[in-house]
Structure 1
């Protein structure tokens, strides 16, 4: 009986102590929990709860950098990489897609990282390059060809723009003429003979000579230097109709794109602290 009374006394004392604690806790004014920390909250009667407020939904700060940023020129690529990259970042050059990708938080040799923060240089072709390549290999009427040359005189190197403007005006002035023959000259140029007034007994005759090639200066991608581009004149003369159609063929345009991309890769490779890898990063 004595032991039982002792146990009852201890239990009673504990209950009274807990009651005092509960009363003290109830008397404390509620306090806001600070974001960014892990808190332990007393619930009373010896119960506690852990509350984790370190997540981004509480702090407003992402747990890590993630996402893919797309830029259009080398300067923008290097500026972003200089801000976020480190010596463990990886850079890949994909010549098939004409793009360069940096995995800013790539795995290190000692421990893995997320690989979810990326930077991609997606090259965009210039309007001038698109204009010439869109007409590559296509034959146009005299008027359409003359208009195209006039609209793109700034890209011409050989013959110069003044010479090509004169040639374009000659084609515009002879749209109603009947072209009868063509002759290849020793210089490689081609001479076309025409008659302007085919109704007259002796029509007014004339000739137009075109160069065998055109040399252009074009920047394939935005933010790059201009490259030498050689085109060969193409034509088709319908002697029955007296109709002349003109165009040009760009010599190996894919090689120019590859060379321009190679120069971009070399520039980035000489600036970032790691070697640029040939290929593409692993899929996430």
Structure 2
């Protein structure tokens, strides 16, 4: 019986890929050619069932490339030649409400939605341009193209909030009032009646606050002789003369005054009551308390949200989108 011989490696490789038989004596040459053919990339199409693979295209172009590790999407090959992004991605930051509205109008689609965080400490608006389709059971979108406005605080408002409830010496308090007199306003007749009724005290005008600050500067080194509350609800403080120039005359202290201040950079002003307080212990310590800033700021934010609805014609919701940016 004849002994079987094993074909050369080139012949085996040729047979495995359907090539003609290898001629004797050309093993090295054929091995190189056949190896190059085996290693060459080959494209094919992967068919997908649309009822199973929701959100994917019906066919995916693929590449078989052993040099790159096997099967790869065609996209990895062609992305290097892209001239423009496939879709809009990223978050634009608006510094003013007007810019937020203008950007939303520039990019909005029929499916765009606005989400609002109306908490007064850190409010913010976010327009999700590519939000889910605005139909019942409609397909989802990426939610990656957004515009955000985080209500940057004004320097004036930060100054008032910083010292809210903080005790101050007479000199420091007088200087603070002088520096921030432009943020005060006179109460309207309706505000005066309501505040006098609710707080049972005198409501000061800006002029009266200026007069108070200047009176405090006169008595900066004086000792309090007497302090009591008048029938109007205002306080009256009398100083004991301890240096030249102090007349010791009583000084009337109103119990409340009004701020007319824009809490947010380039935003609309808000009228907020501020209580005026002092404590006497030989010397006098002053402080103020902004009354319910949460309600006044939240009301301002909701008014701005109504403005967004009106000027963009977009649906707006108090909350946050479900997808991560």
TM-score category of the 2 structures, normalised to the smaller one: 0.7 to 0.9
Secondary structure at the aligned position of 2:231 is classed as coil
C-alpha distance in 1 between matches for 2:94 and 2:273:
30
Residue in structure 1 matched with residue 252 of structure 2 by the alignment = 209
Q: Aligned pair in 2 of structure 1 residues 204, 226: CA closer, same or farther (>3 Å)?
A: closer
Q: Deviations over 1:155-180 (max 9, x none)?
A: 11143433322221211111111102
In the aligned structure 2, how far is the partner of 1:94 from the partner of 1:163?
A: 38
1:146 aligns with 2:199: no
Shift of 1:260: 0.8
Task: Work out whether 1:60 is the aligned partner of 2:83.
Answer: yes
What corresponds to 1:168 in structure 2? Answer: 213
2:151 paired with 1:123:
yes
Distance of 2:104 and 2:79 partners within structure 1:
24
Given the alignment of the two structures, is residue 104 of structure 1 paired with residue 129 of structure 2, yes or no?
yes
Per the TM alignment, residue 126 of structure 1 is displaced from its structure 2 partner at its CA by 1.1
User: Take 1:178 and 1:91, find their aligned partners in 2: how far apart are those partners?
Assistant: 58
Once the two structures are TM-superposed, the CA of residue 93 in structure 1 deviates from its matched residue by 1.3
TM-score by length of 2: 0.66
8 Å Cα contact 1:55-1:63 kept in structure 2: no
Task: Give the aligned partner of residue 78 of structure 1.
Answer: 101
Aligned match of 1:6: none
For structure 1, the 5+ residue unaligned runs are 1-10, 12-37, 39-50
8 Å CA contact 2:205–2:257 kept in 1: the answer is: no
Query: C-alpha displacement at 1:206, in angstroms?
Result: 2.2
In structure 2, which of residues 226, 238, 253 is the aligned counterpart of residue 193 of structure 1? Answer: 238
Alpha-carbon deviation of 1:83? 1.2
Match of residue 267 from structure 1: 307
Please list every run of at least 4 consecutive aligned residues from structure 1 whose deviation after the TM superposition is greater than 6 angstroms.
51-54
Q: Does 1:234 align with 2:277?
A: yes
Asked if the contact 1:176/1:196 (under 8 Å) is kept, the reply is: no
- Counterpart CA distance in 1 for 2:278 and 2:79 is 66
Partner-residue secondary structure (3-state), 1:93: strand
Determine the C-alpha separation between the residues in 2 that align with 1:245 and 1:136: 14
Q: Which of 193, 205, 225 is matched with 2:268 structurally? A: 225
Unmatched runs of 5 consecutive residues or more in structure 2: 1-19, 21-60, 62-73, 187-203
Q: Which residue of 1 aligns with 2:46?
A: none
1:91 maps to 2:119: no
- Give the equivalent residue in structure 1 for 2:164: 136
1:85 shift after superposition = 1.0
How big is the shift at 1:281? 0.5
Aligned counterpart, 1:30? none
CA shift at 1:207, angstroms?
1.6
TM-score (norm 1): 0.75
Q: 1:206 to 1:103 in 2, by over 3 A?
A: same
Counterparts in 2 of 1:125 and 1:138: CA distance versus 1, 3 Å: same
